Amino acid sequence: MSSFFQNYFLNGAQFFNLFDQAAKNAVEMAQLLVNAVNTNDATEREVVFKQIDRLENIGDDITHKIYLALDKVVFTPLNRKDIHTLASAIDDVADYIHEASERMYLYHIVEFVPAIKEIANIILSASIEIERSVNLLRSNKQSEVLASCKQIKDYEHQSDQIYYNSLANLFANEKDAINLIKYREILHSLETTTNKCKNATEVLQAILVNSY
């Protein structure tokens, strides 16, 4: 019996540790994105984009480890579907940070409109709250997790307003059609990233309902 409980708690720690790693990795990617849009050095920016690409691969590896663990572990600390969905939700945030950075790199953007910088900062703030929420799951601090989820939703709402106002401004004032398309697609990737952050809160809230 003691072996059973030991294995249960070890399995619990394994999943929570992987979630912590995945969330931390997303925060690091978000910080790099902020760095990229706030530097005027093209060479430095290219290095940052490569770092984001590397971290996205690390995030994929972490997600894969979670899925493998689900196949091997009999007793999990959370609902199996919730574990899979949360891993996917965090991975989505990382994927769209990567998509935004890839578009910036491929489009050779050298000047970033204010909205890009603002939404990048929001993504970083939301990612930090996701990391905090994931860490809190381990200790079952439900009210604090819910407070973080609310904050992330507020960030997503701010992002929506910035996104739509920026699009309206671009269509009204940007005379270069190619630049307009480039900025629009980058802004769309950034705004989608904040939506993915919001999706993560819905998963976290479902976990609180299903597991505690």
Q: pLDDT (tens digit, 9 = 90+) per residue, 60-94?
A: 999 999 999 888 876 787 888 999 999 999 999 99
Q: Is 210 helix (H, G, I), strand (E, B) or coil?
A: helix
- Within 38-141, where are the H helices? 42-72, 80-106, 114-137
* Segment-wise mean pLDDT, segments of 10 residues, the chain, 212 residues: 44 86 98 97 95 98 94 80 95 98 95 96 98 90 92 97 97 94 97 98 90 64
Q: Which domain holds residue 111?
A: 2-211
pTM for the whole structure: 0.92
The per-residue pLDDT for 71 is: 86
Paired tokens of 88: 């996917």
The per-residue pLDDT for 118 is: 98
- Size of the chain in residues: 212
The per-residue pLDDT for 10 is: 47
| CATH value at residue 195 | 1.20.58.220
How far apart (Å, rounded) are the C-alpha atoms in residues 194 and 192? 5
179 CB contacts (<8 Å, ≥6 apart)?
none
| 118, 37 contact by CB (below 8 A) | no
Number of independent structural domains in the chain: 1
Residue with tokens 């929420």: 133
The per-residue pLDDT for 86 is: 96
Q: What is the CA radius of gyration of the chain?
A: 19
Read off the DSSP letter of residue 108.
Answer: T
How far apart (Å, rounded) are the C-alpha atoms in residues 2 and 15? 20
The per-residue pLDDT for 2 is: 44
